[in-house]
Amino acid sequence: MGQAILDELLRVLDEDHAHAVIEHRRVTIRKPLTAYGAKRLASKFAAWGDANEAADIMIDRLWQGFECEWVKDRRRPQGRRNHIDAALDAMKETNGPASIFGRVGNA
């Protein structure tokens, strides 16, 4: 593994993620990074906002690279909630599941 490649990735990733990206490209998909490729990939990870999360997405989906546009739907919704979110909030604010579902268990 070239030190220049690692150095480029370490600009935005923690050490574990940097090594994982290099291994993913070299071993899993058999398309090793060059130093220039690592520099470009690092900038695309950084554009996501959480570079380590972007690296995880790329690895999980077995992608060669990463573009934010590919995973716009992955962004955490802001202000959008569903019935599960509401139920979990109610459980936290009250006495647990019994306050929502009635008596739970043999108690």
- Which pLDDT does position 50 carry in this prediction? 95
Rounded Cα–Cα distance for residues 103 and 36 (Å): 62
Q: What is the mean pLDDT of the chain?
A: 84
Does the pTM surpass 0.75? The reply is: no
- Which pLDDT does position 66 carry in this prediction? 97
Q: Which residues contact 6 (CB under 8 A, 6 or more apart)?
A: 18, 19, 22, 38
pLDDT band at 56 (very low <50, low <70, confident <90, very high): very high
Percent of the chain with pLDDT over 70: 65
Residue 50's closest CA among 85, 17, 4, 3? 17
